[in-house]
Amino acid sequence: MKKIAVFTSGGDSPGMNACIRSVVRSAIYMDIDVYGIKYGYDGMIRGEIEKMGSNSVSNIVQTGGTILKSARSEEFRTKEGRKKAYENLKKHGIEGIVAIGGDGTFTGANLFYDEFGIPVVGAPGTIDNDLFGSDYTIGFDTAVNTALDAIDKIRDTAASHDRVFFIEVMGRHSGYIAIQSGIGGGAEMVMVPETSTTIDDVISKLREGRDNKKGSSIVVVAEGDAQGSAHEIAERVKVHTPNMDIKVTNLGHIQRGGGPTAFDRILASRLGLAAVEGLLNGQKGVMVGIIDNKVTYTNLKLAISKSKPLNQELIRLTDILSI
């Protein structure tokens, strides 16, 4: 294999640039030509493919976002669109691809590999940390620390006014950000898609806190919780707790931005190198990950189809520390 390409797709996550940098410089170190595909699958279809050099990735390891840009592609969902993408890769002589992204990115990559046989190695770049086959995904640690910083600041104002704050964090199908930022921020309650928490449970916990002389409380809500958004939950709780001063904050897309933590920079760099080495060693249709601090390769079908359960010890820890 003498020519490979790298692209980012789906939602951006802090550390993607560090992974791009690692892929490019690892390939050059191994005497392989490396190309960058801009705007993900859309760029692959449009032929936005450019050769990259070591200088192409200078001074980006500390930056958030992705220099290769990202986009969602409706055309790639069609067989015709995927054929265009494949033809553009063949024009450049590209023999393997590193796809940096999450569930949607890998679903497309797996289909592309099945149809055209071009070797693909995925590097998990998503703040949700919801992909089976890696203990951590690129951007998760940074997102947790961003959420934690916000929770700390909100707690200051909550304590000053004896308020209850419902804080919504990202996690449509995964409660990883919520549970870790909740524990780190000393939340009185964490609501995640993986557990069943009722409105009555929330009311009971808040009343219990007031009975124990707690002036303020923090409830961290993952956006995908079964009870609804933080705003919807807060409105339902207000009906039964008229004497509580309840506020809502949605942290939104700030969780995706900012410079990556040291952990995410190192993780992304390790995964980038392992992706290139995987291609050279004949890996195809797989996702590279880190499990128990060791590099692993997991079939893409398994990575996107098998659920990654929350650590039950973390859920138990939240319950114990919230009294």
On whether 34 is known to bind a ligand per the annotation, the reply is: no
On whether 247 is known to bind a ligand per the annotation, the reply is: yes
- 48 torsion bin: left (phi>0), alpha (psi -120 to 50), beta (else): beta
Please state, in angstroms and rounded to a whole number, the distance separating the CA atoms of residues 271 and 316.
Answer: 31
Structure token pair of residue 299: 């079939």
On whether 168 is known to bind a ligand per the annotation, the reply is: no
On whether 62 is known to bind a ligand per the annotation, the reply is: no
On whether 249 is known to bind a ligand per the annotation, the reply is: no
On whether 92 is known to bind a ligand per the annotation, the reply is: no
On whether 171 is known to bind a ligand per the annotation, the reply is: yes
Of 295, 283, 312, give the one whose Cα is nearest residue 113. 283
Q: Which residues pair with 99 in a beta bridge?
A: 7, 122
Angle between helices 140-161 and 176-184 (to 10 degrees): 50
Burial class (CB in 10 A: 0-12, 13-18, 19+), 160: exposed
On whether 255 is known to bind a ligand per the annotation, the reply is: yes
Of 229, 239, 214, give the one whose Cα is nearest residue 166. 229
On whether 172 is known to bind a ligand per the annotation, the reply is: yes
**Per annotation, catalytic residue among 33, 42, 128, 141:** 128
225 is catalytic: no
Question: Residue 164's CB: how many other CB atoms inside 10 A?
Answer: 25
On whether 25 is known to bind a ligand per the annotation, the reply is: yes
**Is 6 within 8 Å of 35 (Cβ atoms)?**
yes
On whether 253 is known to bind a ligand per the annotation, the reply is: yes
Annotated binding site for ADP: 21-25, 155, 186-188, 214-216
Residues that constitute the known binding site: 11, 21-25, 72-73, 102-105, 126-128, 155, 163, 170-172, 186-188, 214-216, 223, 247, 253-256
Sequence ranges of the binding site for substrate: 126-128, 163, 170-172, 223, 247, 253-256
Indicate which residues carry an active-site annotation. 128
